């Protein structure tokens, strides 16, 4: 009985061995058993155990019952996952070719060729292949046409089999072209490695990842070797070759946190030891991608980078671009939305020490038609660079490429062997639900990564600039501290005019560069003034402009060659000043020592870092004549090094970024700062649309809004507008009327109540001031327990209801108007409670309906 059982078991086992395909032996898998749909063929479809047109596999008269018949050019990728030991086959031209044709078989593993047949022509006997594939993850089987076209190139992988390790899971055929995606929660960017080894990108906004990719669709295209549109990379190799030809060389992914992944796509030139890495840091939840490029080489000497973009993303056509033209005192005031038609649309600046003022490094792309606050696919872009930049939107009729980076204009840059050139970072923010959702994601990212202390609320600031200008001394300033405290401000900012002795800074013609406190205005320096402020219960802040020099200064007398200038040209002054040459190490030391000496004064809690001119004569007396083009890049790099050092050495000092108004509203510099000055235009009528536009990209807590008399607008309107940004005042408190003083005090106390919500909450832009008679917005706290609605009436109109957004429909909110305008009736719903659903549906009636009236309404659950 026992013997019988045993015999039965042996029979069953034998049956199992012979009946189980594809296993040849326990660990060997026939190639023909894999999914042959994944094998490409230049003609027909690959077949299991048959030649390409269905006949028997036959090479030089020898027939094979096992194998795969294909046709050049052919490719198959197999996932071995490091679990195989050998690939074996007998390969040749099938007899069905009638003795014609010529082919070559190639076996590659993880991108490296492991075996090559050499040219095989008709009637040659099958060649044996036996390749060690230990540790290989992806096996690639290729057949080329032998260089003479594919006619009659029927190719047989006869008896082809993969020997797997004991117990390993079966190998699987992979799609023929390596493809991968960059993903955040709702954005996917698909890439594919082409037959030619180049990296391609499927246009964002398109859906068909089976579409045939053309040469035009190369990711990060390079100039000089076949690509004819606007390239992302243009370089001159050490031997003078002006072309670059990058091929895909691998991808690495690293999790930096549960939400953040760094993807590095490696590309390598086919003929030069030159590597380009495309880097993408994806923030999953917020649909943010930070993108930059690293370039490195090991050529015999420096290569010259002529163009090196941070990004070159491809999008479908039907893209609308919103960009923001401006000028001094008109920054961001003119949004323009236009379709990107065939051709190249360029936004750029060539002003060296700042990026913005005229054009902006931030823009919005709306895919598949125009977008609104609540609808549409939008991709906002912002280049983190404070120097000359270029964004080119290149529509070639098939797709739109968005290229952004350092402006190639006059900026050739030598890159030494083994050095790495890292481009500025491009920030992309995606939403499929319109501009509002995009901005809220952008703001969340900015509070976490784009600015300093983005999760802290801010003090109420009082600046003396509009009050005193250059005309002050110790006593005049000290006399402002008492009223500052009394009205409720928490920080006093002393602006320009406190320094210079031989050439006192009593106007903007002299003194920049001589950073010693003026002895007649501040006989004992800054420290007693700062201490006096603290004594009155307000913090003290200071203005500085470390990068600049007036020709009328001791510094310029001593070091005229420290200023940026062109030889043999008359010095061109802007605001009577010149820019110091930060490429010169002595200037770097001087500026660092200046900053240290100012911020090192006890009790300095805040600084405004200004930069009141841009470059118009970009010559460096320090750089050699043949290195002048490096000024544009080296200046900004040295500036960032200085800002970084400052932020690290003075971690508790709050910093405002200013550049003759809003010349440095960019994320390259903002990461070292707490806020930026958006414009010298403080007229609240301009600020309503201006703050609206900035808020597409920057959280309002980073946008300084100061109440001034500019435009002579009603104080209540001016205060309400400033309160929706990072609130401050630039007023002579001693000269305020009693009514205005009360309005300001009320606004300050109201701001203190709501600043948690406006600084840390989510912004909903409701009614666009560019389009209607008013601008309205609301902020909602992260837990939706509180909200603040702002209404700014720009023209007379009916007091139509405002529909807030972002509330919790189920929560009940009590309504109260904050700091109501004197003399106006209370709002209808004052003191009443409604659910979020009711408020969002039925709206709130503000008290304002006339030009330059405003309402600030708090909702509390
Ligand atoms: C620039 C700033 C102003 C003020 C002056 C001082 O114009 O934008 O706010 O600081 O400089 O000179």
pLDDT band at 14 (very low <50, low <70, confident <90, very high): very low
Pocket test for ligand 1, best of 328, 356, 495, 512 (most atoms within 8 A of CB): 495
Q: Which residues contact 408 (CB under 8 A, 6 or more apart)?
A: 234, 306, 307, 390
Cis omega (within 30 of 0) on the bond before 283? no
Query: Nearest 5 degrees, angle CA 431-CA 844-CA 809?
Result: 55
**What is the pLDDT at residue 799?**
75
Residue whose CA is at the smallest distance from ligand 1 atom 5: 496
pLDDT per residue as tens digits for the range 633-649: 999 999 999 999 999 99
Average pLDDT over residues 299-314: 98
**What is the pLDDT at residue 206?**
80
Query: Nearest 5 degrees, angle CA 10-CA 13-CA 18?
Result: 125
| The residue count for the chain | 861
d(CA 750, CA 23): 78
- From the list 610, 634, 693, 740, the catalytic residue is 610
Segment holding 792, helix H or strand E: strand 786-793
42-51, 206-215, 412-421, 656-665: the lowest-pLDDT one = 206-215
For ligand 1, the distance from its centroid to the CA atom of residue 231, given in whole angstroms, is: 39
- From the list 448, 680, 732, 808, the catalytic residue is 680
pLDDT per residue as tens digits for the range 541-583: 999 999 999 999 999 999 999 999 999 999 999 999 999 999 9
pLDDT per residue as tens digits for the range 247-271: 998 899 999 999 999 999 999 999 9
**What is the pLDDT at residue 111?**
75
Written as one string, the DSSP assignment of 436-491 is: HHHHHHHHHHIIIIISTTTTS----EEESHHHHTT---HHHHHHHHHHHHHHT--E
**What is the pLDDT at residue 110?**
84
Average pLDDT over residues 132-161: 96
Residue, of 467 and 494, whose pLDDT is higher? 494
**What is the pLDDT at residue 433?**
98
Residue 130 is among the residues annotated as catalytic for this protein = no
pLDDT band at 11 (very low <50, low <70, confident <90, very high): very low
CA 803 to mean position of chain CA atoms: 32
**What is the pLDDT at residue 480?**
94
Count of alpha carbons within 13 Å of 201, Cβ hemisphere only? 22
Q: Which residues face 429 on adjacent strands?
A: 288, 380
**What is the pLDDT at residue 88?**
97
For ligand 1, the distance from its centroid to the CA atom of residue 652, given in whole angstroms, is: 23
827 CB near ligand 1 (under 6 Å): no
331 CB near ligand 1 (under 6 Å): no
Pocket test for ligand 1, best of 508, 610, 611 (most atoms within 8 A of CB): 610
612 CB near ligand 1 (under 6 Å): yes
For ligand 1, the distance from its centroid to the CA atom of residue 382, given in whole angstroms, is: 25
What does the buried/exposed string (b/e) look like for 570-594 if buried means 16 or more CB atoms within 10 Å of the residue's CB?
Answer: eeeeeebbbbbbbbbeebbebbbeb
pLDDT band at 331 (very low <50, low <70, confident <90, very high): very high
d(CA 686, CA 696): 16
Closest atom of ligand 1 to CA, residue 495: 10
pLDDT per residue as tens digits for the range 701-712: 999 999 999 999
87-96, 165-174, 830-839: the lowest-pLDDT one = 165-174
Q: What is the pTM of this model?
A: 0.90
In 207-314, where does DSSP find H-type helix?
A: none
CA dihedral 485, 488, 491, 492 (to 10 degrees): -60
Answer yes or no: is pLDDT of 8 > 80. Answer: no
pLDDT per residue as tens digits for the range 443-455: 999 999 999 999 9
Q: Which residues face 656 on adjacent strands?
A: 608, 675
Percent of the chain with pLDDT over 70: 97
**What is the pLDDT at residue 15?**
40
Average pLDDT over residues 329-342: 95
With contact defined as beta carbons under 8 Å apart, do 762 and 696 qualify?
Answer: no
pLDDT per residue as tens digits for the range 793-824: 999 987 799 999 999 999 999 999 999 999 99
**What is the pLDDT at residue 121?**
92
pLDDT band at 191 (very low <50, low <70, confident <90, very high): very high
**What is the pLDDT at residue 205?**
86
106-110, 399-403, 711-715: the lowest-pLDDT one = 106-110
Nearest to 676 by CA among 726, 747, 626: 726
pLDDT band at 16 (very low <50, low <70, confident <90, very high): very low
Written as one string, the DSSP assignment of 380-397 is: EEEEE-SS-EEEEEEE-S
Answer yes or no: is pLDDT of 22 > 60. Answer: no
For ligand 1, the distance from its centroid to the CA atom of residue 660, given in whole angstroms, is: 6
For ligand 1, the distance from its centroid to the CA atom of residue 397, given in whole angstroms, is: 46
Residue whose CA is at the smallest distance from ligand 1 atom 7: 660
Closest atom of ligand 1 to CA, residue 543: 10
Pocket test for ligand 1, best of 494, 606, 680 (most atoms within 8 A of CB): 680
pLDDT band at 5 (very low <50, low <70, confident <90, very high): very low
Nearest to 665 by CA among 681, 678, 683: 678
Pair of tokens at residue 817: 């108007």
pLDDT per residue as tens digits for the range 512-548: 999 999 999 999 999 999 999 999 999 999 999 999 9
pLDDT per residue as tens digits for the range 712-754: 999 999 999 999 999 999 999 989 999 999 999 999 999 999 9
Answer yes or no: is pLDDT of 366 > 80. Answer: yes
Average pLDDT, the chain: 95
Average pLDDT over residues 149-162: 97
Answer yes or no: is pLDDT of 60 > 90. Answer: yes
**Beta carbons within 10 angstroms of residue 86's beta carbon:** 15
Nearest to 58 by CA among 141, 159, 161, 162: 159
Answer yes or no: is pLDDT of 428 > 60. Answer: yes
Average pLDDT over residues 63-84: 96
**What is the pLDDT at residue 17?**
40
For ligand 1, the distance from its centroid to the CA atom of residue 426, given in whole angstroms, is: 29
Pocket test for ligand 1, best of 471, 493, 496, 508 (most atoms within 8 A of CB): 496
495 CB near ligand 1 (under 6 Å): yes
Residue 309 is among the residues annotated as catalytic for this protein = no
Pair of tokens at residue 543: 């203005």
pLDDT band at 772 (very low <50, low <70, confident <90, very high): confident
């Amino acid at each position: 009985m026992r013997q019988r059982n045993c015999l039965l078991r042996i029979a069953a086992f034998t049956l199992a061995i012979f009946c189980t395909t594809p296993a040849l032996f326990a660990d060997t898998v026939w190639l023909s058993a894999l999914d042959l749909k994944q094998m490409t063929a230049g003609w027909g479809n690959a077949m299991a155990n048959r030649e390409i047109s269905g006949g028997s596999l036959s090479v030089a008269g020898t027939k094979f019952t096992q194998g795969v018949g294909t046709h050049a050019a052919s490719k198959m990728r197999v996932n071995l996952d490091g679990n195989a030991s050998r690939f074996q086959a007998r390969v040749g031209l099938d007899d069905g070719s009638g003795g014609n044709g010529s082919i070559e078989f190639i076996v590659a593993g993880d991108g490296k060729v492991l075996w090559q047949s050499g040219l095989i022509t008709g009637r040659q006997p099958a060649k044996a292949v036996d390749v060690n594939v230990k540790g290989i993850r992806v096996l690639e089987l290729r057949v080329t046409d032998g260089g003479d076209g594919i006619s009659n190139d029927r190719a047989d992988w006869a008896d082809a089999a993969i020997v797997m390790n004991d117990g390993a899971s079966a190998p699987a055929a992979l799609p023929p072209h390596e493809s991968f995606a960059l993903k955040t929660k709702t954005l996917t960017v698909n890439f594919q490695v082409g037959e030619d080894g180049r990296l391609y990108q499927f246009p964002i906004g398109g859906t068909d990842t089976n579409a045939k990719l053309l040469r035009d669709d190369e990711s990060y295209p390079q100039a000089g070797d076949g690509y004819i549109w606007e390239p992302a990379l243009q370089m001159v190799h050490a031997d003078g070759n002006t072309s670059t030809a990058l091929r895909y060389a691998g991808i690495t992914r690293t999790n930096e946190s549960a939400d953040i992944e760094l993807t590095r796509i490696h590309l390598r030139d086919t003929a030069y030891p030159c590597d380009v890495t495309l880097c993408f840091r994806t923030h999953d939840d917020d649909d943010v991608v930070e993108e930059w490029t690293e370039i490195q080489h090991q050529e015999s000497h420096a290569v010259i980078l002529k163009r090196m973009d941070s990004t070159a993303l491809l999008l479908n056509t039907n893209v609308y671009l919103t960009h923001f033209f401006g000028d001094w005192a008109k920054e961001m005031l003119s949004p323009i939305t236009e379709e990107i038609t065939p051709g190249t649309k360029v936004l750029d600046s060539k002003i060296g020490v700042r990026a913005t003022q005229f054009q902006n490094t931030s823009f919005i792309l709306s895919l598949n038609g125009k977008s609104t606050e609540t609808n549409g696919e939008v991709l906002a872009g912002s280049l983190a660079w404070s120097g000359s930049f270029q964004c080119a939107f290149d529509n070639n009729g098939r797709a739109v490429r968005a290229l952004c980076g350092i402006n190639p204009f006059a900026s050739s840059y030598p890159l030494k062997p083994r050095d790495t050139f890292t481009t500025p970072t491009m920030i992309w923010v995606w939403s499929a639900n319109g501009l509002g959702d995009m901005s809220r994601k952008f703001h969340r990212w900015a509070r976490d990564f784009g600015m300093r202390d983005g999760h802290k609320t801010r003090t109420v600031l009082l600046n003396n600039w509009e009050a005193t200008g250059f005309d002050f001394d110790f006593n005049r300033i000290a006399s402002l501290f008492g009223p500052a405290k009394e009205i409720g401000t928490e920080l006093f900012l002393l602006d320009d005019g406190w320094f210079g002795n031989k050439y006192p800074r009593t106007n903007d013609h002299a003194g920049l560069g001589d950073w010693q406190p003026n002895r007649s205005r501040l006989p004992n320096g800054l420290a007693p003034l700062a201490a006096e402020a603290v004594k009155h219960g307000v913090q003290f802040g200071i203005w500085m402009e470390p990068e600049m020099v007036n020709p009328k200064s001791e510094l310029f007398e001593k070091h005229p060659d420290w200023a940026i200038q062109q030889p043999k040209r008359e010095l061109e002054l802007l605001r009577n000043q010149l820019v110091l040459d930060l490429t010169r190490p002595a200037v770097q030391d001087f500026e660092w020592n200046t900053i240290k000496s100012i911020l090192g004064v006890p009790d300095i809690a805040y600084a405004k870092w200004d930069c009141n001119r841009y470059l118009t004569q970009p010559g460096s007396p320090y750089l050699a004549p043949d290195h002048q083009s490096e000024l544009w890049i080296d200046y900004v790099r040295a500036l960032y090094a200085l800002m970084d050092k400052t932020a690290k050495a003075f971690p508790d000092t709050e910093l405002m970024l200013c550049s003759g108004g809003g010349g440095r509203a960019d994320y390259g510099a903002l990461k070292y700062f707490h806020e930026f000055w958006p414009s010298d235009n403080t007229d609240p009528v301009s600020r309503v649309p201006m703050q609206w536009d900035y808020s597409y990209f920057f959280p309002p807590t980073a946008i300084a809004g100061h109440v001034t008399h500019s435009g002579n607008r009603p104080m209540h309107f001016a205060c309400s507008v400033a309160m929706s940004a990072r609130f401050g005042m630039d007023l002579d408190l001693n000269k305020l009327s009693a009514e205005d003083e009360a309005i300001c005090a009320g606004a300050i106390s109201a701001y203190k109540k709501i600043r948690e919500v406006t600084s840390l909450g989510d912004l909903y832009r409701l009614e666009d001031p560019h389009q209607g008679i008013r601008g309205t917005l609301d902020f909602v706290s992260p837990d939706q327990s509180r909200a603040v609605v702002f209404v700014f009436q720009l023209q007379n109109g009916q007091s139509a209801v405002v529909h807030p957004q972002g509330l919790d429909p189920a929560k009940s909110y009590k309504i109260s108007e904050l700091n109501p305008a004197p003399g106006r009736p209370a709002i209808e719903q004052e003191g009443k409670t409604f659910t979020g659903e009711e408020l969002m549906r039925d709206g709130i009636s503000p008290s304002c309906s006339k030009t330059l009236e405003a309402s600030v309404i708090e909702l509390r659950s």
